Structure 1
Amino acid sequence: MASAPPTRFAINFVIGLVIAVVAFGAASATAAPKPSESELRAELKKLNAKVDKLIESYNLKRVELAKAQQAAETAGERLTAAERAVAAAESRVAQIAQMRYQSGDPAVLGFVFPGNTTGAAVLEQMIAEQQAVVRNVAQARDEQRKAAEEATALAARIRTETADVAKRRDEAQDVIDDIEQKLKDLVPVSTGRRSDGTWAPELPSGSDNITPRTRAMRALVEKNFSLPFTVGCFRSGSSGEHPLGRACDFMMSTGGTMPSSANKALGDRIAAWALENRAKLGVKYVIWQQRINMGSGWRAMEDRGSITENHYDHVHISMN
Structure 2
Amino acid sequence: MALLVAAVAMILAVPSAALAEPDSEGGSKKLRTALETAAKGYDTAKTKLASSKKRQKQLGTRLKESEAAAKAMTEQVNELANRSYQMGRVSTVSMLLNSSSPDGFMERIQSLDMLAQVDSGMLADYRDEVETAKRAKVALDAEIKEQKKQVDLMARKKKQAELALAEVGGGSAGGFLDPDSPAAKPAPRNSDGSWPKESCTVKDPTSSGCLTPRTLHAYQESRADGFKRYTVCYSSRASGEHPKGRACDLSSNASTFKNAAATGGDKAYGDRLAAYFVKNASELGVMYVIWYRQIWMPSTGWRAYSASGGPAAVHTNHVHVSML
Question: Please, what TM-score do these two structures have when normalized by structure 2?
Answer: 0.40
- Higher RCO structure, 1 or 2 (CA under 8 Å, sep 6+): 2
More helix by share: 1
